[in-house]
Amino acid sequence: MTAVTWLTVWALAVTPAPRAPLDSLYRPAAERLIGAALSSDHAMLRLSQLCDGIGHRLSGSPELDRAIAWAAQAMREDGLEKVRLQPAMVPHWVRGEEHAEMVEPGPQQLSILGLGRSVGTTAGGITAEVVVVESFAELDSLPADAVRGRMVLFDVPFTRYGETVRYRSQGANRAAARGAVAALVRSVGPVSLRTPHTGAMGGYVDSLPQIPAAAVTLEDASMIHRLLKRGQRVRVHLEMGARTLPDTLSHNVIGEIRGWQKPDEVVVVGGHIDSWDVGRGAQDDGGGVVISMEALRLIRQLGLRPRRTLRCVLWTNEENGTRGAQAYAESLGALVGKHVAAVESDGGVERPVGFEFGALRIGTDSTDAPRVAQAVARAKEIGRLLAGLGADRIADSGGDADIGPLMRKGVLGVAHRTTGEHYFDWHHTPADTPDKVDPIELRKNVAALAVMVFVLADMPEPLVPPPGAAAAAAAAAMRPAAARR
């Protein structure tokens, strides 16, 4: 045999075979999952059991404890393996009775919701003149005597949630720094229909007075602002019974389908089982909880056991602490290096549009762009399986609150995304109830999530090396050449 022939044979032997596109490899399984999801009303039944049967689920509440017990029992009924409760100590904030009234000009009742972590008022409440600002810069520009002893109303129109929510999280501290006695925040949402929007404050600063903070409706914020622009003095009486009790025990709910070939490698999927104490937490995040559970139920029902372990985690205390997410990540120790992906659904269950992928450098919040690009390129093959659902958009910038601690340890994060067209109309309000969930769209979300997590857990090689593999490769590269022989 000639030297040229030998070289040709050697080249063919060492050149890896081309990888089969994931959409062709997994189309039969995807079609089965999508068909099963679209023909079942089981997810809507579960959502009603959780939201109508149990109700809102604030950390520390008996309703959250009931929801956790319900979810664990449902996982057992679905035949999931290693169903367990993982303890986490969580904040216990109680709203108490609350009331607000514009007494001058007036009287006129105002619709409010105290902000999570807020202190209450003193007995009998607070009556004070109101000053309105449209930004932190405007607040800081006011003379000291224009703010001291007054209530500050932040009348900031909604643009994007991440931009506008800072007035909810930082408003009380910024107002207290100028001598205000209370903070009122225009509800963080595009519409309200006199339905206020609650949510967590960012926490008090030790060096500043702790003043009560509440959300007011768009309508009431606009009315007060108009009165002040006309030169009318506005005074408001505010009573809030909010208080914070000692931390209490809660639990994450965990169940899984054990992988048949690589059981130590894990794909996590889940949502948060807690909610605010108004509404029923249907979109935020009952829908995410239900579709995560349903994805594993259908995979198991169809006998599609994946190569890797597929684990459903329902996190506790996302809304005012993310203690459940922290407890899960911290419990893993070195095993976090075996997590090949973490998928979170916490954006409602309107029409699904796709998934966003993100990766952080280990121990930092800076993006590992090459890993993200690699994941997105390969995941677009999975996206083609979801085209019929309209859920085939695969992009970067993935990540959500409960998978954040895992991402900071190097795990690939995947965020389930929907249109979000009306999500912030209902989010954190009394209107977040199951009637806002379209049963057909809920089924589509189950289908899209089930296909995505099954392929991630079963594909021959992960989208990107898990953090453990990356660390091992880095350590090997640093060893002397002689030691690597």
Query: By C-alpha distance, which of 269, 283, 279, 271 is closest to 438?
Result: 283
- For the record, the structure tokens of 409 come out as 């340890």
206 class by beta-carbon count within 10 Å (0-12 exposed, 13-18 middle, 19+ buried): exposed
Write phi, then psi, for 69 (nearest 5 degrees): -65, -40
Q: Residue 286 has what DSSP assignment?
A: I
Taking alpha carbons only, the member of 213, 198, 202, 345 closest to residue 277 is 198
Task: Record the tokens describing residue 237, joined without a space.
Answer: 């009486």
Instruction: Give the integer Cα–Cα distance in Å for 312 and 342.
Output: 10
48, 123, 373, 376, 403 from 357: Cα distances, Å: 30, 49, 9, 7, 12
Is the CB of residue 158 less than 8 Å from the CB of residue 190? yes
H-helix or E-strand containing 228?
Answer: helix 218-229
CA quadruple 453, 457, 461, 466: dihedral sign = positive
Give me the half-sphere count of Cα atoms (radius 13 Å) on the Cβ side of residue 122.
5
* Environment class of 130 (CB within 10 Å of its CB; exposed 0-12, middle 13-18, buried 19+): buried
Under DSSP, the state recorded for 20 is P
With beta carbons less than 8 A apart as the criterion, state whether 339 and 266 touch.
yes
Which residues, other chains included, contact 370 with Cβ-Cβ below 8 Å and sequence gap of 6+? none
- Give Cβ neighbours of residue 251 (< 8 Å, ≥ 6 apart): 68, 85, 86, 87, 88, 316, 324
> What CA–CA distance (Å, rounded) separates 215 from 238?
12
Q: List CB contacts of 446: < 8 A, sequence separation 6 or more.
A: 37, 40, 43, 291, 294, 295, 298
Distance CA 380, CA 422 (A): 27
Q: State the helix-helix crossing angle for 22-38 and 369-383, rounded to 10 degrees.
A: 60
Our answer to whether residue 318 is catalytic in this structure is yes
Catalytic residue among 318, 344, 381, 441: 318
Sign of the CA dihedral with 144 first, then 149, 150, and 156 last: positive
Would you please indicate which residues are annotated as catalytic (active-site) residues?
318
